[in-house]
Amino acid sequence: MASSRINHVTAYEKEKWIDFSMSSADALAAWRISGIKGPVFEQWYFDSVADDGKSGIVFILARDASYAVLGQGHLRVQLDVTFSDGTHFNHVDWMAEAVTEDASSS
């Protein structure tokens, strides 16, 4: 059994450029989680809407070097909630570090 790959990055850390394979035979997961590389970004978007359509939630995790201009680093988490009474809650935060584990080859 092979060991998993672990990637640890801090909020302002970037890694070297990578070659991007255009082959459908290559797995995508490995290059996506290997770190923040120049213009490459990663965003995980989760949402849910109530059956009646009056409320919902969106949760976003992002690693994007273009966020550096905002002065908070590259690692962003966002929560948006719409309540059934029409009120809305939004919160954005910036993480100091991110650790990603790829166990797909295990």
Domain ranges of the chain: 5-102
The more confidently predicted of residues 39 and 78 is 78
pLDDT at 18 over 60: no
What does the pLDDT read at residue 5? 74
pLDDT at 6 over 80: no
pLDDT at 91 over 50: yes
Which sign, positive or negative, has the C-alpha torsion 9, 39, 57, 30?
A: negative
- Please give the angle made by the CA atoms of 34, 45 and 61, to the nearest 5 degrees: 50
What does the pLDDT read at residue 31? 47
pTM: 0.62
Residue range 77-101: mean pLDDT, rounded: 92
pLDDT at 52 over 70: yes
Q: What tokens appear for 74 in the block?
A: 């590259």
For the chain, the maximum distance between any two Cα atoms, rounded to a whole number of angstroms, is: 52
Least confident range of 11-15, 31-35, 63-67: 31-35
pLDDT at 46 over 70: yes
State how far Cα 67 lies from the chain centre. Answer: 12
* Residues 47, 28 contacting (CB under 8 angstroms): no
pLDDT at 90 over 90: yes
